[in-house]
Amino acid sequence: MTTVYQILSEERFDKESIVTLLKSEGNDKELLFVKAAEVKHEYIGNMVHLRGLIELTNQCSKNCFYCGIGASNKKLQRFMISLPEVEEAIQFSYNNNYGSIVIQTGEIQSESFTQAIEDILFSITKIGNGKLGVTLSCGEQSIRTYRRWKAAGAHRYLLRIESSNKELYYKLHPNNKKHNYDIRLEALKNLQKCGYQTGTGVMIGLPFQTIENLADDLLFMRDLNIDMCGMGPYIEHVDTELYKYKDLVPTKEARVDLSLKMIAILRIMMKDINIAATTAMQTLVDGGREMALVAGANILMPNTTPGLYREQYALYNDKPGINEEAEDSKQSIEKLIYRAGCVIAYGEMGNSRHFLL
């Protein structure tokens, strides 16, 4: 059998190598993280770029089995933050020298929604004098809408495939037109065609998910030649379909361990892409995002959503930061970045080098 040491010197990992790395323990696991740190140091450095996150609306027309804000969850109060409030959050990011904004929403396809996002994009350009980077995370849309938002100032788009395995995908989503794997994949390709820095990602530690599935997820990202990745552990939500399979979910420790390995392996495979240290990591373990930065991530998204709305944007249970206002989040973020031995690249957009080069 090929050893982890040998695998790490390979130019290009195959599935078997990735599986071995995902299963590595002890000294082998340490070798993996050392290699990922080397690659990160060489290609990215220790700079972390910030994106001020605005969770614009929890309105959603979908019913993904894992997600707490799905349309059929009647317990939630649905909100959409008003334009003046969004502008305040944008101003906060600009004043604090975060180089970029992320607008995240449920999945809604309508002209009024398209228009609302367009208006926000115009505001971002105006408030930031064109110096703020913008990532959208607003789900599947028509290529026309993607073009419109690009023209209005968006630079990047994150659309997670959630799982690249079709069979598993349909265990996580209803099998219907609204939740179609091929349409999602097409949307990702359309984003690339429209000239976005394109990101995707998966959930890690899902019921029914195998190590082989996760290896395929990484190969999927390489094959698609993505520019950015946001991935993190799956976290149960009591008001979702998938909750009934909670006994099939790996332990918190196992999910954290797997997530960190996924980040480290992806960093080695796709050396110059942007990888986010996600909030879900933090939910499972205190210091989870620092761990992600050390493992290979280089992007962090402080929540700048007005505190009032946060409770209604619970994608999963125990989401951190729900009782915080933007200022608290900024301070906690600064601390955690320094603890991870990284430096905040204030005032920079932090575009994906993979896209630029």
**Site residues (CB under 6 A) for ligand 5AD?**
66-67, 160, 162, 203, 234-235, 237, 280, 315-316
Nearer to ligand 5AD, 13 or 313 (CB): 313
Q: Shortest approach of ligand 5AD to residue 258 CB, angstroms?
A: 13
Q: Shortest approach of ligand 5AD to residue 67 CB, angstroms?
A: 4
Q: Shortest approach of ligand 5AD to residue 52 CB, angstroms?
A: 16
Nearer to ligand 5AD, 33 or 234 (CB): 234
Q: Shortest approach of ligand 5AD to residue 20 CB, angstroms?
A: 26
Helices 111-127/143-151 angle, 10° precision: 20
Q: Do the beta carbons of residue 157 and residue 136 sit within 8 Å?
A: yes
Q: Do the beta carbons of residue 99 and residue 49 sit within 8 Å?
A: yes
The C-alpha angle with vertex 238 and arms to 237 and 244, in degrees rounded to 5, equals 100
Nearer to ligand 5AD, 46 or 63 (CB): 63
Nearer to ligand 5AD, 220 or 316 (CB): 316
Residues 6+ positions from 340 with CB-CB distance below 8 Å: 48, 289, 290, 291, 293, 294
> H or E element: which one contains 100?
strand 100-105
For residue 144, give the amino acid letter.
R
Nearer to ligand 5AD, 66 or 181 (CB): 66
Q: Shortest approach of ligand 5AD to residue 126 CB, angstroms?
A: 27
Nearer to ligand 5AD, 217 or 290 (CB): 217
Closest residue (Cβ) to ligand 5AD?
316
Q: Shortest approach of ligand 5AD to residue 254 CB, angstroms?
A: 15
Nearer to ligand 5AD, 98 or 234 (CB): 234
DSSP string, 267-317: HHHSTTSEEEE-HHHHHHSTTHHHHHHHHT--EE--B-S-HHHHGGG-SST
For residue 131, give the amino acid letter.
K
Q: Shortest approach of ligand 5AD to residue 103 CB, angstroms?
A: 12
| CA–CA separation, 141 and 154 (whole Å) | 14
Q: Shortest approach of ligand 5AD to residue 315 CB, angstroms?
A: 4
Nearer to ligand 5AD, 66 or 220 (CB): 66
Q: What stretches of the chain show up as alpha helix (H) in DSSP?
A: 4-8, 15-23, 26-43, 83-95, 111-127, 143-151, 166-172, 181-193, 211-224, 252-269, 279-284, 288-295, 307-310, 326-339, 353-356
Please name which of 181, 108, 173 lies closest in space to residue 145, comparing C-alpha atoms: 108
